Structure 1
Amino acid sequence: MIPIDTDYLKETLLKLLAIPSPTGYTDQIVHTVGRELESMKIPFELTRRGAIRATLQGEKPLLDRAIVTHLDTIGAIVRELKPNGRLGIAMIGHWPARFAEGARVTIFTDNRSFRGTIQPLKASGHVYNEEVDTQPVTWDNLEVRIDEKVYTRADLETLGFNVGDIIAVDSAPEVTQSGFIKARHLDNKAGVACQLTAIKALRDTGATLPVTCHPLFTISEEEGTGASSILTGNIAAMVAIDNSTVAPGQNSREDTVIIAMRDQGAIYDYHLTHRLIQLCEEQSIPYVRDVFRHYRSDAASALSAGNDLRTALICFGLDASHGHERTHIDSLASLTNLICAYLQSTPRIQHDRNKLGPLEGFPMLALGKNEKE
């Protein structure tokens, strides 16, 4: 197992968390990650909209791999300039209004940014008494209070507010002495930090990769399209890196790797998934398996777009996903170790060289035995 730089991992995560990047407003974080790749001398290309496709050269052609994380986060968008000088909003991504209440935010207009707070319509118990606890928790019952002297719709218009302005929610990170990391947007900036740390570890140690790998950084996963348009025909397998869901009824933990067997959008490839499990066991990387019922990843969007490739999903453990999130450095370190192990492992299904091929050489599962990827 090659050494990883956990200080770099934490520093990179905190740097990423400081950059607003709700879906649709990702240019700044694309530049930041691009500069990080340039500093490591990793070649990469950008799509028209800004998704990043990097290349780690391997020894053999035609069995390229991809690892993918997403740079975009949840957020909100202005849907109404209200008569009281506040903003009606709708969500970007899918997250509960309950966790939007009280969020400190930045609103990006066409010409500048403003600070504000997401408030429930009935925010003061001194005015509304028990109604503050009984009003429905919905996006229709939220508004943004702007930190400017605005009291009417005309005031908003004078300052340049418009329907469609993007709203970014503060991440407010905290790293505890016990190793927990608390913040909004750990989904998926923690995954991005792990991916960059793995790339750095491979580069620093001069590790040889058996096949070429393409680290991908997508910009629209939270709205469902993710890795749908960034793949090429040479990629035979793709591993998505994202958060798990720690909750009752789930098997995920905050201090291990989680290997997803399926989610709402995909049943993950048996051979690739079990190869990752084998790597965890061989290298003593703590892991658990889980199934996610209300969850969709970059890998699922790639399959939905018609890409024919083996997919898997490996995760860091996350409590309260899309809310006040928390993970542990042990989970991030273990996930980074698994990424490094996977990229150094040799593919075992040579049949995957073919976009279309014969029956001969295609793997077959029987009585629990399989030829792993």
Structure 2
Amino acid sequence: MNETKELIEQLVSIPSPSGNTEQVITFVESFLKDLQVETRRNRKGGLIATLPGNNKDEHRMLTAHVDTLGAMVKEVKDNGRLRLDLIGGFKYNAIEGEYCEIHTSSGKVFTGTILMHQTSVHVYKDAGDAKRNQENMEVRIDAKVTNEEEIRELGIEVGDFVSFDPRVQQTDNGFIKSRHLDDKASVAILLQLIKRIKEENITLPYTTHFLISNNEEIGYGGNSNISPETVEYLAVDMGAMGDGQSTDEYTVSICAKDSSGPYHYGLRKHLVELAEANKIGYKLDIYPYYGSDASAAIRAGHDIIHGLIGPGIDSSHAYERTHESSLDYTEQLLYHYVLSGIVSH
């Protein structure tokens, strides 16, 4: 589990907002190359690893996404600051006061802070009440700039990506808190699963593909590159917590339904049976405002059995947290799943 947490820390520390994921995909590619795992990139920039199995006529695919929330420069402002346009589904209040990096097209990186224009309570009477929105939020660049011209002289331009400081931290009692645990926690879990399979010289019952997708936060990361032999498709993504939810930070969450509709009933029951047979702590849940790579694949028309599981993550799409026990239970369920039989159609 310490290896998994260290791998999560490495992954979240690599900036990768949707649309700018080359660096983190290269990191994952190198990790798998060291394990002598066959990989290839799709045209969208995602990475597919394949482990041959005994049955080559029926395949499985597991996916986790390495892209994260982020932003783009929307406007270079006259006051020497930047206006943002958000990448992914979150609110401006979730990033107020956050440190960030601006990634220019030339490769230069500048640091900054995301703030309300009306931050100073000594100047603005409405500092607390003003809306946290695109109009009022801006990036204060850590450079001596006071106007639009000086910003552009740095090489910063509209369309430059902006990534958020993950502020990753591990606690002595097993918590890990960071931005982008959605879904880099699951990516780390899949990489550790592949590593275990290779180190233990396990031959899987079915040829299994692992898709590290890179456009999930904008809706289409895992909707393609699914082989015609693929029967089952399991997305590994965070379990969302909140009022009315059963998901917690200490078990693996098995999703019954999200905004796309129910997941495959037979696969869901199979996952529950595996959890109960192997004494794996789990919670069944419904995510009302959620979609996954598996639901994107269904919408794209693929004739597959689809499911969704993942570690329970608190404060999704903000400053997130989970516990090592949730990571461990997710790893255990995935291990038993890839060794099990395929659900009958």
Give the structure 1 partner of residue 137 of structure 2. Answer: 142
Q: Is the 8 A contact 2:59 2:206 kept in 1?
A: yes
Q: Deviations over 1:177-198 (max 9, x none)?
A: 1111110000000010111111
Q: Deviations over 1:295-339 (max 9, x none)?
A: 111111111111110000001001100001010010011101111
Q: What displacement does 1:140 show?
A: 2.2
1:2-81 matches, within 5 Å, as 6-81=1-76
Q: Deviations over 1:224-253 (max 9, x none)?
A: 111012211111111100001111111111
Cα distance, 1:348–1:121 mapped onto 2, change above 3 Å = closer
**DSSP-derived class of the 2:310 partner:** strand
| Match for residue 120 of structure 1 among 89, 92, 116 | 116
1:1-373 matches, within 5 Å, as 6-111=1-106, 112-129=108-125, 131-349=126-344, 352=345
Q: Is the 8 A contact 2:5 2:176 kept in 1?
A: no
Query: Which consecutive unaligned segments of at least 5 residues does structure 2 have?
Result: none
Q: Is the 8 A contact 2:232 2:342 kept in 1?
A: no
CA distance in 1, matches of 2:86, 2:310: 24
**DSSP-derived class of the 1:115 partner:** strand
CA distance in 2, matches of 1:94, 1:332: 24
Q: Is the 8 A contact 1:51 1:230 kept in 2?
A: no
CA distance in 2, matches of 1:104, 1:34: 28
Q: What displacement does 1:205 show?
A: 1.4
Q: Bigger radius of gyration, 1 or 2? A: 1
CA distance in 2, matches of 1:9, 1:44: 21
**DSSP-derived class of the 1:229 partner:** coil
CA distance in 2, matches of 1:295, 1:254: 18
**DSSP-derived class of the 1:251 partner:** coil
Structure 1 residues 238-247 or 201-210, which shifts more? 201-210
CA distance in 2, matches of 1:159, 1:205: 51
Q: What displacement does 1:146 show?
A: 0.2
Percentage identity across aligned positions? 37
Q: Is the 8 A contact 2:114 2:137 kept in 1?
A: yes
Q: What displacement does 1:18 show?
A: 1.0
User: For residue 122 of structure 1, what is the amino acid of its counterpart?
Assistant: Q
Q: Is the 8 A contact 2:267 2:343 kept in 1?
A: no
CA distance in 1, matches of 2:120, 2:313: 32
Q: Is the 8 A contact 2:270 2:343 kept in 1?
A: no
Higher strand share: 2
Q: Is the 8 A contact 2:115 2:138 kept in 1?
A: yes
Cα distance, 1:233–1:329 mapped onto 2, change above 3 Å = same
Q: Deviations over 1:153-176 (max 9, x none)?
A: 111111111111100001010111
Q: Is the 8 A contact 1:257 1:316 kept in 2?
A: yes
**DSSP-derived class of the 2:204 partner:** coil
Q: Is the 8 A contact 1:240 1:299 kept in 2?
A: yes
Q: What displacement does 1:348 show?
A: 4.5
Q: Is the 8 A contact 1:54 1:216 kept in 2?
A: yes
Moved over 2 A (4+): none
Give the structure 2 partner of residue 358 of structure 1. Answer: none
CA distance in 2, matches of 1:68, 1:25: 19
- TM-score, normalising length: structure 1: 0.91
**DSSP-derived class of the 2:51 partner:** coil
Q: Is the 8 A contact 1:74 1:94 kept in 2?
A: yes
Q: Deviations over 1:13-70 (max 9, x none)?
A: 1110110000011000010000000011111111123211111111012210011000
Q: What displacement does 1:139 show?
A: 2.6
- TM-score, normalising length: structure 2: 0.98
Give the structure 2 partner of residue 361 of structure 1. Answer: none
> In the comparison of the two structures, how many residue pairs are matched?
344
